[in-house]
Amino acid sequence: MDREERERAMSPETALAELAAGNRRFTEGHPTFGLQSAHRVELASAQYPFAVVLGCSDSRVPVETLFDRPAGDLFVIRVAGNFIDDYGLATLEYGVAVLGARLVFVLGHSSCGALTAAVEFLERGERAPGMIQHLVDRLTPVARATRRDEGWVEAAVDENVRATVAEILDTSAIVADAVTQKKLKVVGGTYDLATGRVTTIEG
Ligand SMILES: [Zn+2]
């Protein structure tokens, strides 16, 4: 398969349905995940991932595993708090413009430590050591915007996904053009650590 064959074979809607189906296999306990050696040899010459996933670094959110996809399918960016910066956006644009991905999926998750740190910084004002405070500062606005007594962290997780989707669409002309041409969808969702289920967040 080359890039054009991949694009013909998969619409943005199909790409999203593939991720949903993979997450269903994962949560139902019968994943097909795995990299066969024939597949590995095929991939050695080129990659045609169908989706870019922007996820959190959290060790409990292994992107390929929870979507039940083998190597070669997902172009993955991971950073604590799954936000976008210039390098992340450049990586994402590479996945879309050069590799031909049909979907960008921003994946937050329950009990995210990065957003918990932002919430706790607003509550207590204690600074994190070293560069970690930069992460906290980056996520503080979304935490401030979702302040509430109950469920603050989960609200911040959802809002961070929404804000990141909007930021990608606002910042990247490559992404915006591909969306206009119906070659690409940008979607957000959250992963529940306990159930393993990914729930799509509507804009
Ligand atoms: Zn996290």
pLDDT attached to residue 202: 78
Ligand 1 centroid to residue 70 C-alpha, Å: 23
| pLDDT over 90 percentage in the chain | 86
Three-state DSSP class for 192? Answer: coil
Is 135 a domain residue? no
Q: What is the average pLDDT across 7-29?
A: 92
Q: How many domains does the chain have?
A: 1
At 108-156, the pLDDT tens digits run 999 999 999 999 999 999 999 999 999 999 999 999 999 999 999 999 9
Is 137 a domain residue? no
126 contacts 120 by C-beta, under 8 angstroms: yes
Ligand 1 centroid to residue 80 C-alpha, Å: 5
Ligand 1 centroid to residue 108 C-alpha, Å: 7
Ligand 1 centroid to residue 11 C-alpha, Å: 29
Sign of CA dihedral 23, 24, 29, 35: negative
Is 79 a domain residue? yes
136 contacts 118 by C-beta, under 8 angstroms: yes
pLDDT attached to residue 203: 63
At 151-176, the pLDDT tens digits run 999 999 999 999 999 999 999 999 99
Is 27 a domain residue? yes
Is 126 a domain residue? no
How far apart CA 37 and CA 39 sit, in angstroms, is 5
89 contacts 52 by C-beta, under 8 angstroms: no
Is 149 a domain residue? no
* Residue 196 structure tokens: 């393993």
Is 125 a domain residue? no
CATH number, position 31: 3.40.1050.10
Ligand 1 centroid to residue 55 C-alpha, Å: 8
Residue given tokens 């949903």 in the structure block: 20
Is 81 a domain residue? yes
157 contacts 83 by C-beta, under 8 angstroms: no
Ligand 1 centroid to residue 79 C-alpha, Å: 8
pLDDT attached to residue 65: 95
Model confidence at 43: pLDDT above 90: no
List, in sequence order, every beta strand (DSSP E) within 37-136: 51-55, 74-78, 103-109
pLDDT attached to residue 156: 98
Model confidence at 34: pLDDT above 80: no
pLDDT attached to residue 40: 82
Mark the residues whose beta carbon lies below 5 A from ion ligand 1.
Answer: 56, 58, 112, 114
Confidence band of 2 (pLDDT split at 50, 70, 90): low
pLDDT attached to residue 3: 67
Three-state DSSP class for 52? Answer: strand
pLDDT attached to residue 95: 98
Ligand 1 centroid to residue 31 C-alpha, Å: 24
Domain that holds residue 43: 3-114+154-201
